[in-house]
Structure 1
Amino acid sequence: MSDKFIIRFVAGVTIFVIAVVVLLNRHLIPGPAVAPAFTPYLPMLNAVLNGTCTVLLLLSLYQIKQGNITLHKRLNIVTFCLSSLFLVSYILFHYLMRNEIVYGDLNGDGKLSDVERASAGSLRTIYLVILWPHIILAAAVLPLILLSFHRGLQMQVEKHRKLVRWAFPIWLYVTASGVVVYLMIRPFYHF
């Protein structure tokens, strides 16, 4: 496969995923009237997948520093698969769950009253300071992950290293902050 094809493929996948997520978050793709019984478990699954990916990324870094290319590659393949499963689960949750989940929303109406806003206070600000970079970087890292993964599998080591210098810290932040975001928003799930 040519580099041109790979870059076009990565761009297409990235645009598609971002478009689907935006449409789901804006409720422009209709979901079912009633969510299946397993739906409330998806956010916890996503947090577990993110946490596992965080650990695997750190193990992968350690293994490459030790010169163990085979284990580094295997860990990255598992991490890539788990991150892909996360993405499917994340999209599925937002397709199935139509309720707005808002940090500080104690009664589950998707809006913050003045009392709820005051009650959430600075923790809501901290939550948003973690959440917004998490969202932006999650979108930005997707093409970097796909390209660096491809380069690594093709043993294009120098191209892989150049991409990973950016992809690794961003991917690590996204997976770790995903767990923090889940733990912070969890008390405000109303399902």
Structure 2
Amino acid sequence: MKTQKVNEKKIRVWITILSIAIPLVVAVLFGYKIPNAEPLRFLPPIYATINGLTALFLIAAVIAIKEGNQKLHQNLMTTCILFSVAFLGMYVAYHMTSESTSYGGEGISRYFYFFILISHIALSIIIIPLVLITYSKSYFFKDFVAHKKWARFTFPIWLYVAVTGVIVYLMISPYYQ
């Protein structure tokens, strides 16, 4: 029991470090441009697709666990985390080699775009500790009761972030150079 408390404390520390470090590193790298780098213009449709796949895998994972298939659920959730890491790497690489694209829509679509974009960014920061806590409850501690409680908050936010990532891409894609 004492070992589990020590491990849980260590994991909480790592979750806190990652939850702070990831957004900070992304913000710093987002503002840095690699001199004379070839713009990676092919990446946005790829990382938008990854967001779409994440959404589909999240839904499939919920279906799997409701059907009692814990192993499939775990594999799908692990894949969602890997998708998110891949998305983040591509997103940062794109923005380190390319200028940001401005949304060119007008009127109500402009307000809708910025609402979606801002909520997507804010929730993408919030989802980091939620995913790590939810995953650790199941994967490291086998505390499925706590995992289920956390998942009730984590799942809809993560799904929203994944779906709005696709929407943001679809709305801004006509304005890419």
Could you tell me which amino acid in structure 1 is paired with residue 121 of structure 2?
Answer: I
Could you tell me which amino acid in structure 1 is paired with residue 173 of structure 2?
Answer: R
The answer to whether structure 1 residue 8 and structure 2 residue 13 are counterparts is yes
Question: How many angstroms does 1:45 deviate by?
Answer: 1.1
- SS of the equivalent of 1:40 reads coil
Question: How many angstroms does 1:49 deviate by?
Answer: 0.4
Could you tell me which amino acid in structure 1 is paired with residue 123 of structure 2?
Answer: L
Distance 1:61 1:6 in 2: 25
- SS of the equivalent of 1:33 reads coil
Corresponding residue to 1:34 among 17, 33, 36: 36
Question: How many angstroms does 1:174 deviate by?
Answer: 0.1
Distance 2:79 2:28 in 1: 29
The answer to whether structure 1 residue 170 and structure 2 residue 157 are counterparts is yes
Could you tell me which amino acid in structure 2 is paired with residue 15 of structure 1?
Answer: I
> Percent identity at matched positions?
33
The answer for unaligned runs of 5 or more in structure 1 is 105-118
Distance 1:83 1:57 in 2: 12
Aligned to 2:137: 151
Q: TM-score, normalised by structure 2?
A: 0.91
Aligned to 1:101: 101
The answer for unaligned runs of 5 or more in structure 2 is 1-5
Could you tell me which amino acid in structure 2 is paired with residue 84 of structure 1?
Answer: V
Distance 1:87 1:129 in 2: 21
Question: How many angstroms does 1:34 deviate by?
Answer: 2.6
Q: TM-score, normalised by structure 1?
A: 0.84
**Alignment root-mean-square deviation, CA:** 1.4
The answer to whether structure 1 residue 20 and structure 2 residue 25 are counterparts is yes
Aligned to 1:51: 52
Could you tell me which amino acid in structure 1 is paired with residue 107 of structure 2?
Answer: G
Question: How many angstroms does 1:5 deviate by?
Answer: 1.1
Aligned length: 171
